[in-house]
């Protein structure tokens, strides 16, 4: 089975779950070709991400000549398909987002279709239902292979109507939701008409890569927060909580791993509350360094306002470390009081009390939370099981099509995609 994975930007430090998913499929004998619309503008720090970047074909970045040539060739050799793709781009643009952006998606889809035909790709899978899913839909409309996508949230649901999510659901062979909450959001935009093609398949980890530290959580006074520094993650609210806890709790510190647009705001809050000696900003680190930091910490904290289902929560629980997080999106499907603390987003008092509970918890309580968390990940988030599910879904979609797409293409799946 030969498929393609298509994403907007790759590899991205905060999206290692996509790389892991592709590797798990390859371990089960699936050939995966990697495509991305553009390169990430920041420096990669993990060796596996760097290696994956070398395997990724970029459709937009540095490829204006290729886009122009592919479009000219398609217009000459397949004018009817070219016209169908252009009309699909127009229909997506009418939903919102502007004609210029969707004209770019159309050119990217024409180039992608040429690559897929050359390599005999039988199916495209997309992560996130935004830009890349539009490109896959347009390619499909021109006679390309079937496609599917995994929806995560939260941002893609904020602009779902103007991004044409109903059209993308209509044209997809299936859609993956990473949580029950996410499935509900897809149903909200697709309605009952597409409910049978929406599948819940939770993000996974290979637990063999996440070996708990022999050092008990109770031996550490370090809390760690991992993620892109941005408003939706809520890290700017942590310095105030740390300042209040300083007065009543035994010495502790907070390590923030990640970078992003909120760094100046976080640094300002650290200075305003006078907690520069308690909070360390480390920037992006490799996956190995992140695992080691979490494994040696007391707990992980993630005070998010908007999420899908953060992979770092899975990683912390797999390492038998409790988590402090918020009641956002799919998080309550993973976290409860048995493996950490979960509080309303933006509730400073509740966040402070949750952190106090963790800082005051004895070693036995922390160990029990850790064991419960790892058991949850093992039960619901096994990476091999996720790959098996996806492989079966891909095989069904390909069988429905009768194999890989040929040079002449084949009709789009279902009249609703026309």
- Mean pLDDT score, 216-233: 94
Cα 175 to Cα 194: distance, rounded to the nearest angstrom? 9
What is the assigned CATH class of domain 207-380?
alpha beta
Q: How does pLDDT run across 375-401, given as a tens digit for each residue?
A: 999 999 999 999 999 999 999 999 998
Which SS3 state, helix, strand or coil, does residue 136 take?
A: helix
Choice among 9-13, 189-193, 267-271 with the minimum mean pLDDT: 189-193
Q: What percent of the chain has pLDDT over 90?
A: 79
Cα 148 to Cα 162: distance, rounded to the nearest angstrom? 19
Per-domain residue ranges for the chain? Answer: 2-204+382-409, 207-380
Is 304 or 97 the better-scoring residue by pLDDT? 304
pLDDT at 220: 95
Reported residue count of the chain is: 418
Q: What percent of the chain has pLDDT over 70?
A: 96
Cα 320 to Cα 360: distance, rounded to the nearest angstrom? 18
Is residue 291 within 8 Å of residue 315, measured between CB atoms? yes
Q: Where are the alpha helices (DSSP H) in 213-362?
A: 238-246, 263-273, 287-295, 311-318, 348-360
Instruction: Name the helix (H) or strand (E) containing 64.
Output: helix 64-77
- What would the CATH number be for the domain defined by 2-204+382-409? 3.40.50.2000
Instruction: Name the helix (H) or strand (E) containing 225.
Output: strand 222-226
- Please count the other Cβ atoms lying within 10 Å of the Cβ belonging to residue 362: 8
Asked whether this chain's domains 2-204+382-409 and 207-380 adopt the same fold, the reply is yes
pLDDT of 13 above 90: no
The DSSP code sequence of 70-125 is HHHHHHHH-HHHHHHHHHHHHHHHHHTT-HHHHHHHHHHHHHHHHHHHHHT--EEE
- Mean pLDDT score, 158-183: 93
Contacts 24+ apart (CB under 8 A), 361-365: 361/218, 361/322, 362/218, 363/216, 363/217, 363/218, 363/219
Angle formed at CA 160 by CA 156 and CA 161, multiple of 5 degrees: 165
Choice among 137-141, 189-193, 288-292 with the minimum mean pLDDT: 189-193
Is 11 or 285 the better-scoring residue by pLDDT? 285
Q: How does pLDDT run across 314-355, given as a tens digit for each residue?
A: 999 999 999 999 999 999 999 999 999 999 999 999 999 999
Q: Residue 99: pLDDT band by 50, 70, 90 thresholds?
A: confident
Q: Residue 193: pLDDT band by 50, 70, 90 thresholds?
A: confident
Q: Residue 409: pLDDT band by 50, 70, 90 thresholds?
A: very low
Left, alpha or beta for 409 (phi > 0: left; psi -120 to 50: alpha)? Answer: left
Average pLDDT, the chain: 92
Q: How does pLDDT run across 66-78, given as a tens digit for each residue?
A: 999 999 999 999 9
Cα 320 to Cα 298: distance, rounded to the nearest angstrom? 10
Q: For the chain, how long is the longest CA-to-CA vector?
A: 74
Q: Residue 159: pLDDT band by 50, 70, 90 thresholds?
A: confident
Q: Where are the alpha helices (DSSP H) in 142-197?
A: 155-158, 165-171, 180-190
pLDDT at 408: 37
Residue 57 pairs with which residues in a beta bridge? 35
Cα 36 to Cα 62: distance, rounded to the nearest angstrom? 12
Instruction: Name the helix (H) or strand (E) containing 283.
Output: strand 279-283
Q: Supply φ then ψ for residue 33, to 5 degrees.
A: -100, 135
Closest Cα to residue 122, out of 32, 41, 218, 247? 32
pLDDT of 414 above 50: no
Cα 80 to Cα 97: distance, rounded to the nearest angstrom? 25
Cα 238 to Cα 235: distance, rounded to the nearest angstrom? 5
- What token pair was written down for 297? 């910490």
pLDDT at 403: 54
């Amino acid at each position: 089975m030969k498929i393609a994975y298509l994403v907007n930007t790759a590899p991205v430090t905060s999206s290692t779950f996509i790389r892991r998913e592709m590797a798990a499929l390859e371990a089960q004998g699936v050939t995966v070709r990697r495509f991305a619309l553009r390169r990430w503008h920041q420096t990669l720090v993990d060796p596996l991400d760097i290696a994956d970047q070398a395997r990724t074909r970029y459709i937009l970045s540095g490829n204006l000549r290729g886009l122009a040539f592919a479009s000219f060739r398609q217009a000459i050799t397949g004018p009817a398909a070219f016209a169908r793709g252009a009309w699909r781009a127009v229909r997506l643009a009418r939903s919102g987002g502007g004609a210029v952006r969707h004209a770019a998606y159309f050119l990217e889809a024409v180039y992608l279709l040429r690559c897929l035909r050359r390599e005999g790709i039988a199916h495209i899978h997309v992560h996130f239902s935004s830009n890349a899913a539009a490109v896959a839909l347009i390619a499909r409309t021109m006679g390309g292979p079937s496609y599917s996508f995994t929806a995560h949230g939260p941002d893609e649901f904020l602009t779902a109507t103007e991004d044409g999510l109903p059209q993308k659901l209509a044209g997809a062979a299936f859609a993956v939701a990473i949580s029950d909450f996410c499935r509900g959001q897809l149903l909200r935009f697709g309605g009952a008409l597409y409910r049978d093609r929406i599948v819940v398949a939770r993000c996974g980890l290979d637990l063999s890569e996440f070996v708990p530290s022999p050092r008990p959580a109770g031996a550490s006074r370090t809390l760690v927060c991992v993620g892109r520094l941005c408003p939706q993650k809520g890290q700017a609210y942590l310095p105030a909580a740390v300042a209040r806890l300083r007065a009543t709790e035994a010495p502790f510190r907070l390590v923030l791993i990640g970078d992003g647009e909120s760094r100046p705001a976080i640094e300002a809050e650290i200075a305003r509350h006078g907690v520069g000696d308690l909070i360390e900003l480390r920037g992006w680190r490799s996956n190995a360094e992140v695992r080691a930091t979490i494994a040696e910490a007391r707990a992980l904290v993630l005070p998010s306002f908007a999420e899908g289902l953060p992979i770092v929560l899975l990683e912390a629980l797999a390492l038998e470390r409790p988590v402090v997080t918020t009641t956002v999106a799919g998080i309550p499907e993973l976290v409860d009081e048995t493996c950490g603390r979960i509080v309303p987003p933006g509730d400073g008092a509740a966040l402070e009390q949750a952190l106090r509970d963790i800082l005051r918890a004895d070693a036995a309580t922390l160990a029990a939370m850790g064991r419960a968390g790892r058991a949850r990940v093992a039960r619901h988030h096994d990476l091999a099981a996720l790959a098996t599910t996806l492989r079966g879904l891909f095989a069904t979609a390909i069988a429905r099509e009768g194999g890989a797409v040929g040079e002449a293409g084949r009709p789009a799946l279902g009249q609703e995609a026309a």
